Structure 1
Amino acid sequence: MTLISSTPLLVEARKQGYGIVAFNVHTIEMLQAVVDAAEESRSPLILQTTVGTVKHLGIEYIAGAAKTAARQARVPIALHLDHCQDFELILQCMRAGYTSVMIDQSMHPFEKNVEMTRKVVEVARALNVNVEAELGKVGGVEDDIHVEDDMATLADPIECQRFVELTGVFTLAPAIGTAHGIYKGEPNIDFKRIQEIASRVEVPLVLHGGSGIPEAQVKRCVSLGMAKMNVATELKNAFTLSLKQFFTEHPDNLDPRSYMSVAKEVVKQMALEKMRLCGCTNKA
Structure 2
Amino acid sequence: MVLVNSTPMLKEARKSGYGIVAFNVHSLDMLYSVAEAAAELDAPLIVQTTVGTVRNLGPENIVAAAKAASEEYKIPMALHLDHCTDYDVLIKCIRAGYTSVMIDASMHEFDENVRRTNQVMDVAKFLDVNVEAELGKVGGVEDDIVVDEADAQKAVPSECVKFIELTGVPTLAPAIGTAHGIYSGDPDIDFERIEKIANLVDVPLVLHGGSAIPDEDVRRCVSLGMSKMNVSTELKNAYSQAIKEHFEDKPNALDPRQYLTKAKQAAKDLAQSKIKLVGCQGKASEVQALYGNEYKDGALIG
TM-score by length of structure 1 reads 0.99
- Structure 2 distance, partners of 1:142, 1:125, is 26
Q: Secondary structure of 1:47's partner?
A: strand
Distance 2:194 2:256 in 1: 44
User: Take 1:35 and 1:250, find their aligned partners in 2: how far apart are those partners?
Assistant: 29
The one-letter code sitting in structure 2 at the alignment partner of 1:13 is A
Q: Is structure 2 residue 41 aligned with structure 1 residue 41?
A: yes
Summarize deviations over 1:94-133 as a string: whole Å, max 9, x none. 0100000000000000000001101111211111000000
Partner of 2:167: 167
CA distance in 1, matches of 2:73, 2:252: 36
**1:181-207: CA deviation from partner (whole Å, max 9, x where unpaired):** 000000100000000000111000000
| Alignment match, 1:75 | 75
Partner of 1:18: 18
Moved over 4 A (4+): none
CA distance in 2, matches of 1:82, 1:100: 9
Give the 3-state SS of the residue equivalent to 1:134 in structure 2: strand
> Matched residues in 1 for 2:175 and 2:71: separation?
35
Structure 1 residue runs of 5 or longer lacking an equivalent are: none
Amino acid at match of 1:52: G
Any stretches of 5+ residues in structure 2 without a counterpart? Answer: 285-302
5 Å matches for 1:112-261? 112-261=112-261
2:276 paired residue number: 276
Displacement of 1:252 in angstroms is: 1.3
Q: CA deviation at 1:159?
A: 0.1
Q: Percent identity?
A: 61
Q: Specify the code of the residue in structure 2 equivalent to 1:219.
A: R
1:29 to partner: Cα distance:
1.3
Q: Which amino acid aligns with 1:83?
A: H
- What is the rounded CA distance, in whole Å, between the counterparts of 1:46 and 1:221 in structure 2? 18
Aligned length: 284
C-alpha deviation, 1:70, in angstroms: 1.4
Tell me how far 1:88 sits from its aligned partner: 1.1
* Cα deviation 1:13-56 (Å, max 9, x = unaligned): 00000000000000111111000001000010000000011111
Tell me how far 1:71 sits from its aligned partner: 1.9
Partners of 1:203 and 1:257 lie apart in 2 by 43
Q: Distance in 2 between matches of 1:73 and 1:29?
A: 14
Q: Counterpart of 1:28?
A: 28
Determine the C-alpha separation between the residues in 2 that align with 1:257 and 1:237: 19
TM-score of the superposed pair, with normalisation by structure 2: 0.93
How far the C-alpha of 1:72 sits from its partner, in A, is: 1.9
Report SS of the residue matched to 1:18.
coil
